[in-house]
Amino acid sequence: MSIADPHCHTVASDGMATPRELIAAALSAAIDLIAVTDHDTMHNVQECVERGGEAGLMVVPGQEVTTAWPAQTHLLAWFLERPIKSGMSLLDTVRAVRDQGGLVIIPHPFMPTYFASCQPGMLRRLIEVEAVDGIEIVHTAPMGGPRQRRLEAFYAQHRQRLGAAIGSSDSHFGGHDLGGALTAFEGQTVADFRAAVESGQTTAARGRPRQVPATLALRQQGRSLVSLPLRRLLGQLP
């Protein structure tokens, strides 16, 4: 079995880790595979793939795509060749990922926020039209017991349309939070990981607890809530 943390961010968007720091954090945590999924950019993906290859770490090229206003629901895309345009409908975004042969993953669903997180009704309408390849059943975003139980029940009811069970840390702080939630899969290659997701043969699990310094968390919130939206508005995301 190999261990993946397939939802990680770098300084290309609102993460606080450089590609070098992200790769080092994954190696330190004994993780075998990560996916680099910066918000609306793939600027640091190639560097992460190259550094990971040199260090023996598998790296999946991806992106976390922001869909149309007002909900601006996030969607994870894995195995991309080029960035997906932000601001499309959720369905059109799914189809754009499919056009590249990528995999579609629902990140941090059912959070108690209207923004960014796919809610039950929205997700039900999506999978009636287009199935997805996986959904984060275990993640580190705030949920609470009732919402977690609702997510697990929803997954059990719609598993054929929701795909693989995924665990991801949504790492923004490198060594401080990477590995907070994990996906186990059988195999030792990136192709094995993809095959495990496509066949639904993955296991989502909790990992190590987050240990993020307060000052670093405040700086990251500034990047996420002020700097990144402004850069997106001005068309400055590479």
CATH number at residue 41: 3.20.20.140
CA dihedral 155, 159, 164, 166 (to 10 degrees): 0
Domain contains 60: yes
Non-local (6+) Cβ contacts of 153 within 8 A are none
Q: Answer whether residue 211 is part of any domain.
A: yes
Confirm whether 238 is domain-assigned. no
Residue 40 lies in a domain: yes
Q: What is the pLDDT of residues 146-182, one digit of tens each?
A: 999 999 999 999 999 999 999 999 999 999 999 999 9
Within a domain: 214: yes
Domain assignment of residue 176, yes or no: yes
91 in a domain, yes or no? yes
Confidence of residue 234 (pLDDT cuts 50, 70, 90): confident
pLDDT band, residue 16 (cuts 50/70/90): very high
Q: What is the largest CA-CA distance in the chain?
A: 44
How confident is the model over 45-91, as pLDDT tens digits?
A: 999 999 999 999 999 999 999 999 999 999 999 999 999 999 999 99
Q: Which residues are within 8 A (CB) of 14 and not within 5 positions of it... i.e. 6 or more apart?
A: 39, 172, 220, 223, 224, 227, 228
Mean per-residue pLDDT over the chain, rounded = 95
Domain count, the chain: 1
Q: For the whole model, what pTM was predicted?
A: 0.94
For residue 1 the two structure tokens come to 């079995």
CB 37 within 8 A of CB 8: yes
Single-letter residue type at 22: L
User: Domain for residue 145, yes or no?
Assistant: yes
pLDDT at 237 over 80: no
Range of the domain at 126: 2-233
Inform me whether the pLDDT recorded for 230 exceeds 90.
no
At residue 229 the predicted structure's pLDDT band, cuts being 50, 70 and 90, is confident
